[in-house]
Amino acid sequence: MQVLVINCGSSSLKFQLIDSDSENVLAKGLCERIGIDGSSITYKTDEKVTREIDMPTHNEAIKAVIDMLTDDEVGVVSDMSQIKAVGHRVVHGGEFFSKPILLDEDALDKIEKCNDLAPLHNPANIIGIRACMEIMPGIPNVGVFDTAFHQTMEEASFLYAIPRKFYDKYKIRRYGFHGTSHSFVSKRIAEIIGKPYDELKTIVCHLGNGASICAVENGKSVDTSMGLTPLSGVVMGTRSGDIDPGILEVIANFEDVDVKEVTRILNKESGVYGLSKNSSDFRDINKAINEGDEKAIQTMDVYVRAIVRFIGAYVAVMNGVDAIVFTAGVGENNPNIRKMVCDYLSYLGITIDDQANKICGEEVKLSTDSSKVDVYVVPTNEELAICQETVKLVEN
Ligand code: ADP
């Protein structure tokens, strides 16, 4: 079955057309500057094509995607009817959704109710869904939520110790994100190790620009580092991760700015970028470290320590761990960070093979045979996961 996977942002739209049987990506691309002058679509099969197309709204963007996919020269399908379903990444499903669903008006209503919890993402996701419903009538749309996998967390994990009315009235609680990735990677590691998914204790370290750690026990997310918003947890590219909440008022007073501005600083100007005064990209940080840049070295130390704190906490929460898995841009491609994290964990009897750790961007076992805990790299593939979930629902 051919499935169109859509990840819709406020002014951008990423897409992949995936053949679910072979799991091959037939075409992928990106619409940029939707609603802004100079919008364009970049489309990749064997070659890359960029076309400037006027896209005042997401409807034109979806039309441009369909036109490219069915184009005489660069298209990969003869007509739209070959696309059997659309899978949408939806960031926040609140407490409404604990698994992917077929999207209808009722579901859209519920997603809209979560807008306040993800104001940058959910409204854009809804626009993308509506555009597909309009441009591709009759084709089923499936919503796959970043938060859904974590709905198995118990109160002990998801309640914040703030007045209960904030949960009762506004549903302020830990939700967690990257659920599609944590679910995909934790299932895959069970296959690799050859143990039943529902008998395994795994810690998944999704380390990309955004980063989160998840404790998966017996096939369920039991704890995760991101919270109500994707700002909390480990140190990220430009996000601070966990800080003392008292810092907000102190910065606001010193700099004479409001909470909104402090939150923007914590989201956009902090993390690896803020601390290194250099870059949010670990390739630049590695280079700076090799040149002896003290700030870059410190940034790396702070980044690694934050990850280790969560791994330690989750070993305690699950009372043990069978496997630790690294994934996403940094997790898949940065041997230094993997080595530094694992060196901290020798108390758990973890030893890694330095040769294996040189391998990047592919599935690899890092731990030695004598290691008490298995350590792996498993590349994440959120689009494929969304495609698989979509097929499962549509076929049923
Ligand atoms: P996003 O959260 O935006 O999807 P990614 O998962 O692509 O982010 O991760 C981005 C990070 O991954 C950057 O810090 C970058 O340094 C690192 N990264 C990505 N690809 C590579 C690579 N080939 N080599 C080294 N680092 C990489």
Query: Would you say 199 and 221 are in contact if contact means Cβ atoms under 8 Å apart?
Result: no
| Secondary structure (3-state) at 184 | helix
Instruction: For 178-235, write each residue's pLDDT tens digit.
Output: 999 999 999 999 999 999 999 999 999 999 999 999 999 999 999 999 999 999 999 9
Contact 260, 331 (CB under 8 A): no
DSSP notation for 97-157: -SS-EE--HHHHHHHHHTGGGSTTTHHHHHHHHHHHHHHSTTS-EEEEETTGGGGG--HHH
Catalytic one of 146, 223, 322, 374: 146
Percent with pLDDT over 90 in the chain: 96
Question: What is the spatial distance between Cα 89 and Cα 267, in angstroms, rounded to a whole number?
Answer: 21
pLDDT at 117: 87
Mean pLDDT score, 103-109: 98
Question: Would you state the pLDDT for residue 10?
Answer: 81
Q: What is the pLDDT of residues 336-345, one digit of tens each?
A: 999 999 999 9
Q: What is the tens place of the pLDDT at every residue in 125-167?
A: 999 999 999 999 999 999 999 999 999 999 999 999 999 999 9
Tokens of 369: 């045979």
Report whether pLDDT(11) > 90: no
- The yes-or-no verdict on residue 263 having pLDDT over 90 is yes
Longest CA pairwise span in the chain (Å):
61
> 300 in ligand 1 pocket by Cβ < 6 Å?
no
351-375 per-position pLDDT tens digit? 999 999 999 999 999 999 999 999 9
> Within a 10 A sphere around the Cβ of 269, how many other Cβ atoms?
13
Beta bridge partners of 102: 142
- Secondary structure element (H or E) that encloses residue 86, with its range: strand 83-90
At residue 239 the predicted structure's pLDDT band, cuts being 50, 70 and 90, is very high
Ligand 1 pocket, mutate which of 279, 333, 338, 382 (most atoms under 8 A from CB): 333
Residue 258 above 90 pLDDT? yes
Q: Distance between CA atoms of 67 and 61, rounded to whole angstroms?
A: 10
- Within 8 A by CB and 6+ apart from 99, the residues are 148
Gap between the Cα atoms of 93 and 109, Å rounded: 11
Indicate if the pLDDT at residue 383 is higher than 90.
yes
Q: Which atom of ligand 1 is nearest to the CA of 281?
A: 14
Report the pLDDT averaged over residues 34-62: 93
pLDDT number for residue 185: 98
pLDDT at 197: 98
What is residue 33's predicted lDDT score, i.e. its pLDDT? 93
**pTM of the full predicted structure?**
0.94
Q: Is the CB of 284 within 6 Å of ligand 1?
A: no
* 281 catalytic residue (yes or no): no
Cα–ligand 1 centroid distance for 330 (angstroms): 5
**What is the 3-state composition of the chain as percent helix, strand, coil, each rounded to the nearest 5?**
45, 20, 35
Closest ligand 1 atom to 286 CA:
16
Mean pLDDT of 385-392: 97
Q: What are phi and psi of 48, to 5 degrees?
A: -110, 130
Q: Which tokens in the block code for residue 276? A: 């290194």
pLDDT at 120: 82
Provide the mean pLDDT of the chain.
96
Q: Rounded mean pLDDT of 243-263? A: 97
Residue 118 is predicted with a pLDDT of 87
Q: Residue 9 — pLDDT band, cuts 50, 70, 90? A: confident
> What are 76's two structure tokens?
């990969």
233 to each of 112, 155, 296, 367, how far by Cα in Å?
Answer: 26, 18, 20, 25
Ligand 1 center to 38 CA (angstroms): 27
87 sits in which H/E element: strand 83-90
